[in-house]
Amino acid sequence: MALDDFEELLADKPRNERWELIGGRVVRMMVGARWEHARIVQNIALGLEVGFRAKGSSCQTFTETFYMKSKTLEAAMLPDVLVVCGDIEPGATSVENPTVLVEVLSPGTEARDRFEKWAVYQQLASLQHYVLVARDQPHLEVFDRIEGRWSGYRVIDGLDEVLDLSTIQAVLPLRDIYFRVLSV
């Protein structure tokens, strides 16, 4: 389906339903994730946003209801955390130029996040980091664009480790990402 057709389809959907367009394929999203998922999303977005404000960065975070749209890629996706740097048009409900995208994995979404979404995301020229976050253990997988190529892959394990997103000059301790989710 084309992005224009998808947007028309969305206009007729109930407000409590979430839908994505992934490379031209319409996908109904899960509504009402476990609290751990929501807490991790909040922790990441808050940690990044506080850092951006402290540094006077032009980057800002959005969560789960703000679209990443690309007409070229026939995509309209709702990443768990989206970071965009620079100005956003007043009234915008989406961006096409994210710098960082984060997906918190669950059994129902892991394959889609890891394969289908990643196949689309890696084609975004602006994207520099794609982060997959395990929900039930301190485990992250990070894909990094280095010198224009997706050649970096890191696994970060343990609450004493940190997530370093060098392109946006952000560092988040895993202890903060999993705050109030995992007992320590």
Per-residue pLDDT of the chain (184 residues; tens, 9 = 90+): 999 999 888 888 777 788 889 998 998 876 667 899 999 999 999 999 999 999 999 999 999 889 999 999 999 999 999 999 999 999 999 999 999 999 999 988 899 999 999 999 999 999 999 999 999 999 999 999 999 999 999 999 999 999 999 999 999 999 999 999 997 5
Per-residue pLDDT, 111: 94
**Domain parsing of the chain, residue ranges:** 34-65+77-177
Per-residue pLDDT, 31: 66
Q: Regarding the domain with residue range 34-65+77-177, which homologous superfamily does it belong to in the CATH classification? A: tt1808, chain A (3.90.1570.10)
d(CA 150, CA 125) in angstroms, rounded, equals 11
Residue 26 gets which letter from DSSP?
Answer: E
60's tokens: 């800002």
Q: Which residues contact 104 (CB under 8 A, 6 or more apart)?
A: 37, 40, 41, 80, 133, 135
